Amino acid sequence: QEDCDGDGVINITECENGTDPSDPCDYIIANQTEEQSQDWLDLDCDGDGVSNGQEIEDGTDPLDLCDYDSSSQTLPPSDEWNEFDCDGNGVPNGQEIEDGTDPQDPCDLDITNQS
């Protein structure tokens, strides 16, 4: 059973699902039946600054940019993550990091940066 992109989903299943068997970040989690490649484990598919492998260890979703353990952020977050507002308090994640506030806590914010 081939898995060309190393995401743990075999190519035939990806084709049946309509996901791209050559894109390691285009897959359906429920269909991961194979061991993922080290390259895939080292990637950060959702851009939250936590590698896919660490997200699996943490029990978080490697495809959800707001489902992460902040203590596991070792990679630079993506522009998309920086611009998103995970806690919904009106301050983007990147601004919260600059402010020293928690992008996962809606009550921890610098109100002057609220949009």
Global pTM value: 0.93
Strands (E) across 1-115 are located at none
Over residues 44-99, the pLDDT tens digits come to 999 999 999 999 999 999 999 999 999 999 999 999 999 999 999 999 999 999 99
pLDDT, mean over the chain: 97
DSSP assignment string, 74-95: -SPPPHHHHHS-TT-SSS-HHH
Q: Say if residue 1's pLDDT is above 90.
A: no
